Amino acid sequence: MEQTRHPYTFGIEEEYFLVRRNGRRLRHMPRRFFDACRRTLGERFGGEMLQTQVEVQTGVHGDPAEAQADLEAMRHGVARIATEHGLAILAAGTHPLAQWRGQRSTEKPHYDAVMDELQMLGHRNMVCGMHVHVQQADPANRVDLMRRLQPYLPLLLAFSTSSPFWLCHDTGLMGYRHTAYREIPRTGLPPLFSGQDEYEAYVQRLTSAGAIKDASFLWWALRPSLAFPTLELRVTDACTDMRDALAIAQLFRCLVRHLERHPRRHATLAAGDQAVIDENLWRAQRYGFDAGLMDVDGGALVPVRALFQQIMERLDEDVQALGCHAQIQHLWTILEDGSSAHRQRRIYESARGRGSSRGEALQEVVAWLVDASHPV
């Protein structure tokens, strides 16, 4: 993504699993496939830490419709080239049938360093997410916004849940990816830094001690990007339906603008508040948006639909200013029809009800995920 000076511009990064088209099992990336994608898509296509994963990046956009066309083109491009190589992409937080043993890391100095630190945890990091970058009006406020945006992270995760299955098992969760990812250090909620100076002092302490190379080794659910003048959302699962990804990106974008315009909202978050937010993250992982989230201010358990309605009433001006009403409306469709995790569960339970084995039912889930990951 290129840098831009316009406020509230955004970009989306999506991670996909690479699978064989015949059996839908994971496939290590062939060099010819990688080279073909690079020739067609350039630097906006790349590998991930494991060779069974790939990543795409949109450009920087202010218009949601342009971002949609860009993301469609990226998915189309990778999917077409994958088909030419007997492969397919699968967009979800986890691959239901995947096994972490035998995973190979991508040969790249950055990933070599990460794998050297994480050891087995790196090989187990068989998850795919969606990252959203938003540039606010004043990039110097990124650490302040990182603190004040935390109450909304469980809702953003709930909308994106796409990882109910792991290692051929039903986890009982809607979003297992976040659970698996938190095996890794420096993940989860970021500390409640008082401001930019305290954040920079923390990074300096870790880099001076040799604990991390730079701030890119901070893998929190939300962080100031080292590469771009943006705030980077990282809590969300990879979205099977591209419309879900665009809608969630616009909600995050509206929240950034709203909190920048209202500097007192959530300005006094304390450790107890963050503990409630962390509990809400667990509720989003476990139930998605089916069981409610706690009100950080009052503590009451609130149905997610009611909570979302309250938030949207506050964000009305931001939605209008950013021209993303259509994308925001799609979030109501997710609440009505379900996230990818809901759809996967329906397919799995239907197959089991017909007498299919667990493995056969998961094969049906994977087949649906591959089909649904490819834009029409």
CATH of residue 320: 3.30.590.20
Which pLDDT belongs to residue 1?
47
Of the listed ranges 119-128, 159-168, 326-335, the least confidently predicted one is 119-128
DSSP H helical ranges for the chain: 31-41, 64-84, 109-118, 120-123, 142-148, 153-160, 176-181, 196-208, 242-261, 271-287, 304-322, 325-337, 340-353, 358-373
Residue 2 in domain = no
How would residue 2 be classed by pLDDT, with cut points 50, 70 and 90?
very low
How would residue 4 be classed by pLDDT, with cut points 50, 70 and 90?
very low
Of the listed ranges 94-103, 185-194, 274-283, 303-312, the least confidently predicted one is 94-103
Which pLDDT belongs to residue 125?
75
Instruction: Identify the domain containing residue 179 by its residue range.
Output: 10-373
pLDDT tens per residue, range 268-321: 999 999 999 999 999 999 999 999 999 998 879 999 999 999 999 999 999 999
Residue 1 in domain = no
Task: Record the tokens describing residue 125, joined without a space.
Answer: 């990091």
Residue 4 in domain = no
Of the listed ranges 22-36, 121-135, 236-250, 271-285, the least confidently predicted one is 22-36
Q: What is the mean pLDDT of residues 180-185?
A: 90
Which pLDDT belongs to residue 46?
82
Which pLDDT belongs to residue 26?
62
pLDDT tens per residue, range 68-79: 999 999 999 999
Contacts of 326 (CB under 8 A, 6+ apart): 64
3-state secondary structure 288-320: CCCCCEECCCCCCEECHHHHHHHHHHHHHHHHH
State the total domains in the chain.
Answer: 1
Highest averaged pLDDT of the listed ranges 38-52, 104-118, 293-307: 293-307
Residue 205 in domain = yes
Residue 117 above 90 pLDDT?
no
- The 8-class DSSP code of residue 28 comes to P
Residue 5 above 60 pLDDT?
no
How would residue 101 be classed by pLDDT, with cut points 50, 70 and 90?
low
Residue 5 in domain = no
Contacts of 49 (CB under 8 A, 6+ apart): 105, 106, 111, 114, 115, 122, 125
Residue 134 above 90 pLDDT?
yes
Residue 106 in domain = yes
Cα angle 361-366-369, degrees, rounded to a multiple of 5: 130
Which pLDDT belongs to residue 115?
72
Residue 152 above 90 pLDDT?
yes
Residue 251 in domain = yes
More confident residue, 374 or 338: 338
Q: What is the mean pLDDT of residues 236-259?
A: 98
Give me Rg for the CA atoms of the chain: 20
Residue 3 above 50 pLDDT?
no
The values of phi and psi at residue 175, to 5°, are -135, 80
Which pLDDT belongs to residue 298?
80
Q: How far is Cα 119 from Cα 51, in angstroms, rounded to an integer?
A: 16
93 alpha carbon, distance to own chain's centre: 8
More confident residue, 34 or 336: 336
Burial class (CB in 10 A: 0-12, 13-18, 19+), 68: buried
Strand partners, 87: 20
Task: Record the tokens describing residue 29, joined without a space.
Answer: 């990336």
Residue 201 above 60 pLDDT?
yes
Residue 108 above 60 pLDDT?
yes
Residue 142 in domain = yes
